[in-house]
Copies of this chain bind each other. A is one copy, B any other.
Amino acid sequence: MNDRDKTATATKSAPDRTIFSLLHAARVLEGKVETALDSVGLSVPKYSVLSELVSADAPLSLGELAGKLSCVKSNMTQLVDRLEADGLVRRVDDPKDRRSVKAAITEEGRAKQAAGAEKLDELHERFSASVDDNDRSAVQRLLTALE
């Protein structure tokens, strides 16, 4: 069942490829995650920061957060700005290191994170129900082959 791939380098604008359908699927999925979180008033980056703070169960420095979210520090500066404006986190000084600023989650932030996690669980439930185990492991295999 392999009679595609006729001209490898010749045809430029002949779209076929699974690679782009995977990309498209990811966009769709990401959209669903965004919608789910949006219904509780959170964005994906905001939810990610709150989740890290909840799972650490302690304030984290902006540098640590940037590392965990795999983004640049200046990004975290602005993201925490918005979270602070929303009242979901609070900047606290680090007595150990006067250069450092830590983000501490507020009660409101904790509640938002829990609400977001709830929505994400629901989404995951629906997703899992519509996919059988064989396909699931095939995807896992394909994904790890990607790195």
Whether the pair B1, A133 counts as a contact (CB closer than 8 A) is yes
Contact assessment for B118 and A12 in the assembled complex, using a CB-CB cutoff below 8 Å: yes
Tell me what chain A mostly uses at the interface: helix, strand, loop, or mixed. Answer: helix
Q: Does the CB pair B22–A55 fall under 8 Å? A: no
CA distance A147 to B54 in the complex (A): 32
Query: CB of A10 within 8 A of chain B?
Result: yes
- Chain A contact residues (Cβ within 8 angstroms of B): what range? 35 or more
Q: Which residues of B contact A133 (CB under 8 A)?
A: 1-2
User: Which residues in B have their C-beta under 8 angstroms from that of A16?
Assistant: 128
Beta-carbon contact of A142 and B145 below 8 Å: no
Instruction: Confirm or deny: A85 has a beta carbon within 8 angstroms of a beta carbon on chain B.
Output: no
1/0 per residue, CB under 8 A from B, across A16-48: the answer is: 111101111111111001000000000000000
Interface residue A125 (Cβ < 8 Å from any Cβ of B): yes
Of the candidate stretches A74-82, A96-104, A109-117, the one touching chain B is: A109-117
Pairwise interchain contact A130-B110, C-beta atoms closer than 8 A:
no
Residue contact B145 to A141, C-beta cutoff 8 Å: no
What are some 5 contacts across the A-B interface (CB < 8 A)?
A2-B110, A5-B128, A19-B127, A22-B26, A24-B143
Query: Footprint of B on A, CB under 8 Å?
Result: 1-2, 4-5, 8-10, 12-13, 16-19, 21-30, 33, 51, 54-55, 107, 110-111, 114, 117-118, 120-121, 123-125, 127-128, 130-131, 133-136, 138-143, 145-147
